[in-house]
């Protein structure tokens, strides 16, 4: 049950409706997840949506790697909607089901692609310590240059904000969708290092 009202399109004021319609007309095609809460602040919702579209659809990283970073962030916060949306997107982008399932179960994933393992370790370390070691940082820069490492870092920050918003406001999964993430007894999930292939 959400903690705040989640306005339907026909109950929105003019500014909320304008922002809603702009989001629906963009690549998202719908207003789901955190934007259902953030629409209470139309200026924030509009800018939030624009930033999210940039990070999800217009980075130098392949979609598979973007989605890997997003599901890791969703799992870190046990964010149900984020996991539901992006685990399916990750599979569609070519991330192996074995990797997705290992992250869901908080087990060490095995990566066949070095680029996947590099992104996994960068994101894991950033989320768990707030910093990134030279080895993990340099690996991402070597493959994706300065733009790639900047965008990857921003992606983790953005989807952390998404997760916290979903969790804080109790935004529910769509009707009929089953929760597949077990909560973590200490709150934040610490993902393990990747296993050797």
* Domains annotated on the chain, with CATH: 1-58 (no CATH), 60-197 (1.20.1290.10)
Q: How many CA atoms lie within 13 A of 96 on its CB side?
A: 10
Tell me the mean pLDDT in the region 156-168. 96
Cα–Cα distance for residue pair 70/138, rounded to 1 Å: 21
Cα–Cα distance for residue pair 81/197, rounded to 1 Å: 30
Cα–Cα distance for residue pair 66/74, rounded to 1 Å: 12
Return the exposure string of 62-92: e unless at least 16 CB atoms fall within 10 Å of the residue's CB, then b.
bbbbbbbbbbbbbbbbbbbbbbbbbbebbbe
Residues whose CB falls within 8 Å of the CB of residue 115, separated by 6 or more in sequence, listed in order: 62, 65, 143
Look at residue 182 and tell me whether its pLDDT is greater than 80: no
Task: Express each pLDDT in 54-99 by its tens digit.
Answer: 998 999 999 999 999 999 999 999 999 999 999 999 999 999 999 9
Q: What percent of the chain has pLDDT over 70?
A: 99
Look at residue 100 and tell me whether its pLDDT is greater than 90: yes
Cα–Cα distance for residue pair 197/72, rounded to 1 Å: 19
Task: Express each pLDDT in 15-64 by its tens digit.
Answer: 999 999 998 888 888 888 899 999 999 999 999 999 999 998 999 999 99
pLDDT of residue 58: 94
Task: Express each pLDDT in 108-160 by its tens digit.
Answer: 999 999 999 999 999 999 999 999 999 999 999 999 999 999 999 999 999 99
Place of tokens 């399916």: 88
């Amino acid at each position: 049950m959400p903690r705040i009202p989640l306005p339907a399109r026909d109950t929105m004021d003019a500014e909320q409706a304008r922002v809603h319609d702009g989001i629906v007309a963009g690549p998202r095609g719908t207003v789901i997840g955190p934007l259902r809460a953030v629409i209470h602040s139309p200026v924030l919702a509009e800018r939030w949506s624009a930033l999210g579209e940039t990070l999800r659809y217009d980075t130098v990283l392949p979609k598979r790697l973007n989605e890997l970073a997003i599901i890791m962030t969703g799992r870190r916060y046990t964010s149900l909607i984020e996991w539901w949306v992006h685990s399916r997107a990750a599979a569609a982008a070519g991330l192996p089901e074995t990797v997705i399932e290992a992250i869901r179960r908080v087990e060490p994933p095995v990566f066949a692609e070095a680029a996947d393992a590099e992104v996994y370790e960068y994101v894991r370390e950033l989320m768990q310590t707030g910093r990134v070691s030279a080895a993990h940082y340099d690996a991402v820069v070597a493959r994706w240059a300065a733009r790639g490492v900047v965008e990857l870092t921003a992606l983790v920050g953005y989807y952390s904000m998404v997760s916290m918003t979903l969790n804080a406001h109790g935004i529910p999964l769509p009707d009929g969708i089953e929760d597949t993430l077990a909560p973590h007894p200490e709150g934040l999930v610490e993902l393990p290092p990747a296993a050797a292939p």
